[in-house]
Structure 1
Amino acid sequence: MNAVMPLRPQLKTRRVNLDTGRENLVVISRRSTALRPEVFRGFSRVELRRDDRVLLATLLLTDDDSLVGPGELGIAEPAFRRFAAPAGSYVAVTPAAPPASLDAVRAKIKGKTLASPEIASIIDDLAHFRYSDMETAAFLVGSASFMTTGELLALTDAMAKAGTQLSWQTKTVVDKHCVGGIPGNRTSMIVVPIVAAHGLTIPKTSSRAITSPAGTADTMEVLTRVDLGVDGMREVVSACNGCLVWGGHVNLSPADDIMIAVERPLALDTREQMVASIMSKKVAAGSTHLLIDLPIGPSAKLASAAEAMRLRKLFELVGDHFGIAVEVVTTDGSQPIGNGIGPVLEAQDVMAVLANEAYAPDDLREKSLRLAGHLLEYDPALRGGVGYLRALELLESGAALRQMQKIIEAQGPTHCRNEVGDVAADVRSTVDGFVSTIDCLHLNRIARTAGAPLDKGAGIKVYKKLGDRVEAGEPLYRIHAFEQSNFDLAVSMAGKNPGYAISSPGNQHVP
């Protein structure tokens, strides 16, 4: 006799206009005709199943029939996109056991060293949105206390394999990455067209901002489309030798974006997790040569050369393991780079440098040239020591600008606004003297409060840098916004702490 499988209760799907971030969330009526809510007590999740589609989600109850009726299952926006079942279809809903990999998370919290298969299982569940933010945080906190070399390598490998893995028809694929934290540091948007104009392959995938006022992808999106798929990215690289696209849309190391989003509010920023985050994306992107920029400064992620050296060792260790030639350079992280903080303002700086405008920020130009010079040295046909001069030639001749325009055209038109916010006010010095310190982290917060990066034209226009002479009443920077509420909050924050320290004329700081 054949066993008869019990029928799973089914509900009609309804798309609910709720943005729940990374969380998969569904809603049923307390008077559900197919499910008894009390059955789900003790279960934090339910399993949705339709044909071969399966999704784990957190279940909420409602008494509002206008939101979800008794015979319906409301699916919030992120879960609806991931489940990919049309509205009005019927899905089976059952209680779901927690992911088995949570046993490994608990073991890590207790101090156990995890084996590669355990880490791979955790990352697979993370990448498929089977973890809540609380469970993700548990893994991150448990790993923050200690992580062995073996765990670091296993974590990097698992993260790289969890998403798209790219390969290219060339032996040398160069890339660069900055660990971040410095406002306006949009060197990638200058380095990529210089290197691509020379002829090296540089398929640059970049991130969007999470807690900063702009990521490279946010700034590039002012000029062109960045949400290309893998095929579109390949076409641009084939035509232009390089690209500047959003890595999240290409699905490189998808677990990384999830972990970063949980790390930042908790102020978790361990060196091992940072290295795994960066290197997993470079492994997945098919990079063969990688330049790492480590800014050092009082309000940067790295406060000292000793910290930078420890981080350099980790990058080199992981690079050696995965066959990537890693070069690490330390740079000045004591103040913003360029004059703009926020996508539109930063894009203006970038294009001014590429166009060789007289008003282009010298610090952004010089740093970009030096980084591009390092990458050009990877070309076997280029004589050693001439990378910087070649980068300068490509910039001053207009070749880099033409290459950037070619990349912009190939990636396609953007739909973002590109004007600067028209609600503006200057933050002024209250004393005479010289700029002695600039708090990069605080300026980032002010720019974000003003509306960046959601409002592309919001942010800060910097007028004074370290060592500059200022007089009482002279502007240090200007806050730009579109919304009055954002503007008022940003101005209030700057009024309490402008992020600048001014020394007396006899104590001038020399940067």
Structure 2
Amino acid sequence: MTDTLAIIPAAIDTYRQPVVYMHEDCHICRSEGFAAQTRIRIDLGSRWLIATLNVVMRGGWLNVHAAALSASAWEALGASEGDRARFSHPEPPASTSAIRAKAYDGRLNEADFAGIVRDTLENRLSDLELAAFFAACAGERMDTRETVSLTRAMQAAGATLVWGGRAILDKHCVGGLPGNRTTPIVVAIVAAAGHLIPKTSSRAITSPAGTADTMEVMAPVALDTAALRRVVEAEGGCIVWGGGIHLSPADDHFIRIEHVLDFDSTGQLVASILSKKAAVGATRVLIDIPVGPTAKVRSAHAARVLGSMLISVAEAIGLHVELHRSDGSAPVGRGIGPVLEAMDVLAVLRRNADAPADLRTRAIDLAGKLLDMASGSGLRSGRDLAQSLLDSGAAEAKFMAICAAQGGFREPAPAFQSTEITAPTAGKVAAFNNRLIARVAKLAGAPRQKSAGVRLLVRSGDRVEAGEPLYEIHAETPGSSNMRAAMRRASQIS
């Protein structure tokens, strides 16, 4: 068969971008005119996908009679070594006309956005085409009507959980604060109060840890929809990875491109948040917006614009949303990285004397507001209830029950290697740069190395003497000199 090749796994991680590797002398490349970056349709039995071609040159690692697939492509096709796949040119993506229209400041409707979402999920759109779409929508170039349409299109592309008309609570933080791991504590408190809170969370893409990464060091998070429902029906809450249950599935593709571009569209951020909340079946949602000079939201004006859009779109899709503006000037807690953040969460739940007070206070504030939203009475007594559930140990017991229902609790283990970074001179801690602290944690190995990261030893306002420790860098591999080099490289990044 002239249009088929044997396929092998390339064992290359390209995240969610399917990639196919072919030899430059491959007969299919020659006959079809395939060249580097060509979009190629690959059919294997009843499954198919569209991948981007990378060409392996003569003398390289690939045989001329085989094609290699990246890890994501191999998994998506359900391939086995020795399979033969068919390679052809795909139909051009219909949604490119909508992207061109948006680039010229046109207004898109729900059908336009649905086409872009569909072509994204089928990998019909290249990264360049998606980047053009995000650039056309950057800043505030999407109006409320368009944002509602995109939100609905993103939700409709995946599953939506239905809970029989019951009130379903949820919370979300727009991000930008290292260590701000309030979610496991809030879920435990709210579930201990007898409410339903099925929390789906993301893994980190460019941050030192996502909520799913932190939770995963304590309990399994890769649950399917049926397992999620069993946990919530049994315990009232869960903290699971959203990528495993097909809720607003285009969002991860969008986030991958947005992080490379390093800018956000307000409309796309709102659609990302609210499509996931609608898909999980939430009815009442609290959204935390940390504001600070090195947080994701950097000014009061930006917070007002984002908050107004969130409320307007939520009303249009039938969600009750309330906002909580918080201090985003510094990291929260002491640990930054999956294990270190999990240790902070457990210290708060276990009421340890040395538990980080800022993480405890934030979690109680958020849980209290959610409990007020749940009561619907207009009374503001939720914070007292949240604090009593935490102080009594009820929240800890509920958290352990949730972990058990998700597959069993694991005690997080600290890293084998650490090194202290000390103050070069005496002085007062005036401010933190959230982005640089996060960069140090990532250079140390987080989040792939679960116990890697940064442990803060000072807070804003503290006075330190020369030589006193400021923070520790934790790593799973030896070599404190390497960790110090990582710290020095991070300090040069603005």
Q: Give me the TM-score of the superposition, normalised by structure 2.
A: 0.93
**5+ long unaligned stretches in structure 2:** none
The answer to whether the aligner puts 1:234 opposite 2:219 as a matched pair is no
Contact 1:221 1:414 in 2 (8 A): no
Deviation of 1:138 (Å): 1.4
Answer whether contact 1:295 1:332 (CA < 8 A) is retained: yes
* Distance in 2 of aligned mates of 1:92 and 1:386: 63
- The answer (yes or no) to whether the contact 1:418–1:456 under 8 Å persists in 2 is no
- Residue number among 474, 486, 494 corresponding to 2:487 in the alignment: 494
Which secondary structure does the structure 1 equivalent of 2:251 belong to?
Answer: helix
Task: Output the amino acid matched with 1:365.
Answer: R
Tell me which residue corresponds to 1:503. none
Residues 351, 460 of structure 1: alpha-carbon distance in 2 compared, 3 angstrom cutoff:
same
1:31-430 correspondence to structure 2 within 5 Å:
31-32=25-26, 36-37=30-31, 39-40=33-34, 44-62=38-56, 67-144=61-138, 146-380=141-375, 384-413=379-408, 418-430=412-424
What CA distance in whole angstroms lies between the structure 2 residues aligned with 1:344 and 1:55? 36
Q: Deviations over 1:310-362 (max 9, x none)?
A: 11101100110111110001111111111111111111111011011111111
The answer for the alignment partner of 2:458 in structure 1 is 464
Superposed CA offset, 1:183-206 (max 9, x none) = 110110100000001111000001
Aligned twin of 1:437: 431
> Structure 1 residues 15, 41: closer, same or farther in 2, change over 3 A?
closer
Residue 428 and residue 133 in structure 1: after superposition, are their counterparts in 2 closer, same or farther (change >3 A)?
same
Name 1:505's counterpart in structure 2. none
Amino acid at match of 1:113: R
Q: Shift of residue 64 of structure 1?
A: 6.1
The alpha carbon displacement at 1:94 in A equals 1.6
Identify the match of residue 23 of structure 1 among 17, 34, 53.
17
Partner AA of 1:437 in structure 2? A
Distance 1:428 1:66 in 2: 47
The answer to whether the 8 Å contact 1:14/1:68 transfers is: no
Q: What is the deviation of 1:16? A: 2.5
Evaluate the alpha carbon distance shift between residue 88 and residue 369 of structure 1 in structure 2; reply closer, same or farther with a 3 A threshold.
Answer: same
Cα distance between partner residues in 1 of 2:483 and 2:120: 35
Question: Per-residue displacement from partner, 1:282-332 (whole Å, max 9, x unpaired)?
Answer: 111111000010111121122222221111101100110111110001111
Name the CA distance, whole Å, in 2 between partners of 1:174 and 1:400: 16
Corresponding residue SS for 1:163 = coil
Using the TM superposition, name which of 361-370 and 112-121 deviates more. Answer: 112-121
Which position in structure 2 is the counterpart of 1:480? 474
SS in structure 2 of the partner of residue 177 of structure 1: strand
Q: Which amino acid in the other structure matches residue 173 of structure 1?
A: I
Partner SS, residue 455 of structure 2 = strand
**Cα distance change of structure 1 residues 354 and 382 upon mapping to structure 2, 3 Å threshold:** farther
User: More displaced, 84-93 or 41-50?
Assistant: 41-50
Matched to 1:273, the amino acid is: Q
Cα shift at 1:173 = 0.3
| C-alpha distance after superposition, 1:421-461 (max 9, x if no partner) | 22221111122232111111110111111111111111111
Could you report, residue by residue, the CA deviation over 1:470-504 in whole angstroms, capped at 9, with x for unpaired residues? 1111111111112347x5454235347769xxxxx
Secondary structure of residue in 2 paired with 1:59: strand
SS of corresponding position for 2:429: strand
More divergent stretch after superposition (31-40 vs 300-309) = 31-40
Shift of 1:141: 0.9
For residues 18-37 of structure 1, give each alpha carbon's deviation from its aligned partner in whole angstroms, at most 9, with x where no partner exists. Answer: 22222222233444456635
Report % sequence identity.
Answer: 42
Q: Is the Cα contact below 8 Å between 1:105 and 1:139 reproduced in 2?
A: yes
Distance (whole Å) between structure 1 residues aligned to residue 362 and residue 70 of structure 2:
45
Tell me which amino acid in the other structure corresponds to 2:211.
T
> CA–CA distance in 1 between the matches of 2:88 and 2:376?
62
Q: In terms of mean alpha carbon deviation, does 22-31 or 205-214 score higher?
A: 22-31
Larger mean CA deviation between 100-109 and 473-482 belongs to 100-109
Aligned residues: 491
State the superposition RMSD in angstroms: 2.3
Structure 1 counterpart of 2:448, from 454, 464, 470: 454
Distance (Å, rounded) in 1 between the aligned partners of 2:321 and 2:420: 42
Separation in 2, partners of 1:47, 1:430? 57
Give unmatched runs, 5+ long, in structure 1: 1-6, 500-511
Deviations 1:68-108 (A, max 9, x none): 44443322221111122433233322222431211221222
Secondary structure at the residue paired with 2:370?
helix
User: For each residue in 1:104-153, what CA deviation from the matched residue of structure 2 results, as whole angstroms up to 9, or x when unmatched?
Assistant: 21222222222221111001111222222222211111111511222111
Distance 1:137 1:35, change over 3 A: closer
For 2:202 and 2:41, the matched residues in 1 are separated by 31
SS in 1 for 2:33: helix
User: Does the residue aligned with 1:437 lie in a helix, a strand or coil?
Assistant: coil
The structural deviation recorded for 1:383 is: 7.5
Aligned equivalents of 1:235 and 1:28: distance in 2? 45
Mapped contact 2:41–2:90 kept (Cα < 8 A): yes
In structure 1, give the amino acid aligned to 2:436.
Answer: H
- Three-state SS of the structure 1 residue aligned to 2:287 is strand
Tell me if the contact between 2:416 and 2:477 (Cα under 8 Å) persists in the aligned partners.
Answer: no
Query: For 1:40 and 1:34, how far apart are their aligned partners in 2?
Result: 8
Aligned partners of 1:266, 1:225: CA distance in 2, in Å? 32
Provide the C-alpha distance between the structure 1 equivalents of 2:222 and 2:75, rounded to a whole number of angstroms.
Answer: 17
Give the counterpart letter for 1:392 in structure 2. Q
- Asked if 1 retains the 8 angstrom alpha-carbon contact of 2:28 and 2:34, the reply is no
Shift of 1:164: 1.9
For the pair shown, the structure with the greater C-alpha radius of gyration is: 1
- Structure 2 counterpart of 1:427, which letter? I
Partner SS, residue 265 of structure 1: helix
Contact 1:34 1:71 in 2 (8 A): no
